[in-house]
């Protein structure tokens, strides 16, 4: 199942989905939101994975694959 939250309440949606679904949930989160490090640690603990946008750096696709 793929669910896309693409509006200002994205944080709330992620929390509610995680609580409501009875299966593992992983989130793709823009890489910038992993900074500062404490927020990145919280996002990783919550099951979030960083997403690197194609136009930002030449190696973004390779970083996403990793």
Q: HSE-up of 21 (CA within 13 Å, CB side)? A: 13
The pLDDT score that the predictor gives to residue 56 is: 67
The pLDDT score that the predictor gives to residue 1 is: 73
List pLDDT tens digits, range 8-55: 666 777 778 888 888 888 888 888 888 899 999 988 888 888 887 776
- Angle (CA) 43-27-20 rounded to 5° is 100
Structure-token pair, residue 51? 């997403």
- DSSP for 4-49? ---STTHHHHHHHHHHH-SS---EEEEGGGG-SHHHHHHHHHTTEE
The pLDDT score that the predictor gives to residue 38 is: 94
The pLDDT score that the predictor gives to residue 36 is: 93
The pLDDT score that the predictor gives to residue 30 is: 83
Q: Are 43 and 34 in contact (CB under 8 A)?
A: yes
């Amino acid at each position: 199942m793929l669910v896309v939250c693409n509006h200002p309440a994205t944080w709330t949606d992620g929390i509610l989905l995680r609580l409501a679904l009875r299966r593992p949930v992983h989130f793709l989160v823009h890489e910038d939101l992993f900074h500062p490090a404490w927020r990145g640690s919280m996002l990783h603990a919550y099951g979030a994975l960083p997403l690197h946008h194609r136009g930002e750096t030449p190696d973004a696709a390779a970083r996403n694959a990793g």
